[in-house]
Amino acid sequence: MQKEKTLSENKNTLGLYIHIPFCKSRCIYCDFVSSVSDNACMDKYCDYLKKQIAIAKDKYKDKYIVDTIYFGGGTPSILSCDNLLKIADSIKSSFVFDLKEFSIEANPCTIDKTKLSTFRQMGVNRISIGVQSFNDDILRMLGRAHDSITAINAIKMAKEYGFEVSVDCMTGLPNQTKEDIEDFVEKATNLNVDHISVYMLSIEEGTKLEELINQGKLTAKSDDEIIELYDTACELLKEKGFERYEISNFAKNSKVSFHNLRYWRREDYLGLGISAHSLIMNERWHNPDNFEDYYKALDKGLMPMEDIENLDEEEIKEEYIMLALRLKEGIDIEKYNKKFNSDFKSEYRLALIKDAKYLNINDKKVSIKDEYLETMNSIIVDFLK
């Protein structure tokens, strides 16, 4: 596997996202497309995934070189070793590769030595573990299927097997304190994780969390409290040598997520599995978010595509800028000018003057200063026409 960590331009390359919509239990805050299902349901889904891979092969194999694979969910690590290997084999025989990264999301309670060996056999080199917190009371409150010891052991094992390890940390949770955040950073960094994603809690409509807050059984934190906890995490991670290369993502020794970088750089990606999104040659769509419609299309031998959008040049530019400003690397002016046959600095002269204090501007790049990343939305609107 080619694993040089340069942030180079990808031409005619593709990232593959595979959605696995199953979990051991549902966490109270989560509205991702996923459910608790039995083995027969998972087996059937994996068979259909293989059908979609076969259709995708005919469409894309000759046009693209796949350089990243990302199994996300839900909880991909919940699948049997047999199913995981079948999907990985099917992908490997259906595309041309120059693989930089193969990531898989995992819940700590689904990681053991057999699973890790299977990941290795699949070619996985990076595991993204949903930890959220190392406080057992908080984990219980969230309905997580694991405790802190299980998370610590999962991280240790994954590191021992030689995987690059990323962990998710949630901030702004009910009852969460500054000490909880300090504890998270301390434990995660002592365990030598390579990457940390820090998410501010979002209270999603229709979730158990929303219900408990409405019933007064849990208390939501104010925006200021959430930002304070988030900032604590950011500052501590910086002190520990983690670079914030995207608003919510921190990497040690440049161990960034190449697959996720594709999204922010607006490079092509193909989503397989229910609810997965794709962007190919400026055409955007997503797969149906229910099994029935997904299976129906595949039974007819069709690519299950919904809400197909072809963006016009202005929309593409806006999206490109919005995504690039999430990144520390920001907007590469030469790349922008070439891509859009334009002159970025004169096109956005007014916005660059108005937001000068929040921006790093030089001949090559424009990016938002680290300390203003969280308020990026109010800066980005000035770049929208």
Ligand X SMILES: C[S@@+](CC[C@H](N)C(=O)[O-])C[C@H]1O[C@@H](n2cnc3c(N)ncnc32)[C@H](O)[C@@H]1O
Q: Which residues bind ligand SF4 (CB under 6 A)?
A: 23, 26-27, 30, 32, 34, 73-75, 107, 130
CB of 71 to ligand SF4, least distance (A): 12
User: Binder to ligand X among 15, 73, 174, 330 (CB under 6 A)?
Assistant: 73
Closest CB to ligand SF4 among residues 35, 117: 35
Q: Identify the CA nearest to 181 among candidates 195, 171, 194, 189.
A: 171
Q: Does 29 bind ligand X (CB under 6 A)?
A: yes
Closest CB to ligand X among residues 29, 242: 29
Between helices 39-60 and 81-92, what is the axis angle to 10°?
A: 10
Q: Does 171 bind ligand X (CB under 6 A)?
A: no
Interface with ligand X: number of residues (CB under 6 A): 18
CA dihedral (91, 92, 95, 100) in degrees, to 10, reads 110
Q: Does 204 bind ligand X (CB under 6 A)?
A: yes
| Amino acid at residue number 144 | R
C-alpha distances (whole Å) from 2 to each of 32, 97, 129 are 32, 10, 23
Binding partner of 185, given ligand SF4, ligand X, none, CB within 5-8 angstroms per partner class = none
For ligand X, what does the binding mask look like between residues 129 and 168, x meaning CB under 6 A? -x-x-----------------------------------x
Closest CB to ligand X among residues 15, 74: 74
Which residue(s) pair with 106 in the sheet? 129
User: Binder to ligand X among 79, 122, 142, 201 (CB under 6 A)?
Assistant: 201
Q: How far apart are CA 19 and CA 16, in angstroms?
A: 10
Binding partner of 271, given ligand SF4, ligand X, none, CB within 5-8 angstroms per partner class = none
Backbone angles phi, psi at 181, to 5 degrees: -70, -45
SS3 (DSSP) at 274: coil
CB of 33 to ligand X, least distance (A): 10
Binding partner of 170, given ligand SF4, ligand X, none, CB within 5-8 angstroms per partner class = ligand X
Q: How far apart are CA 105 and CA 94, in angstroms?
A: 22
CB of 78 to ligand SF4, least distance (A): 9
Structure tokens at 367: 């990016």
Q: How far apart are CA 383 and CA 385, in angstroms?
A: 6
Of the candidate spans 26-34, 215-223, 298-306, 363-371, the one that interacts with ligand X by CB under 6 A turns out to be 26-34
Mention every residue, 6+ apart, whose C-beta is less than 8 A from residue 300: none
Q: How far apart are CA 65 and CA 60, in angstroms?
A: 9
User: Binder to ligand X among 7, 26, 30, 81 (CB under 6 A)?
Assistant: 30
Q: How far apart are CA 277 and CA 32, in angstroms?
A: 13
Binding partner of 199, given ligand X, ligand SF4, none, CB within 5-8 angstroms per partner class = ligand X
Binding partner of 26, given ligand X, ligand SF4, none, CB within 5-8 angstroms per partner class = ligand SF4
Q: What is the per-residue DSSP string for 78-139? A: GS-HHHHHHHHHHHHTTSEEEEEEEEEEE-GGG--HHHHHHHHHHT--EEEEEEE-S-HHHH
Closest CB to ligand X among residues 236, 316: 236
Q: Does 35 bind ligand X (CB under 6 A)?
A: no
Binding partner of 15, given ligand SF4, ligand X, none, CB within 5-8 angstroms per partner class = none
Contact positions vs ligand X (CB under 6 A): 23, 29-30, 32, 72-75, 105, 107, 130, 132, 168, 170, 199, 201-202, 204
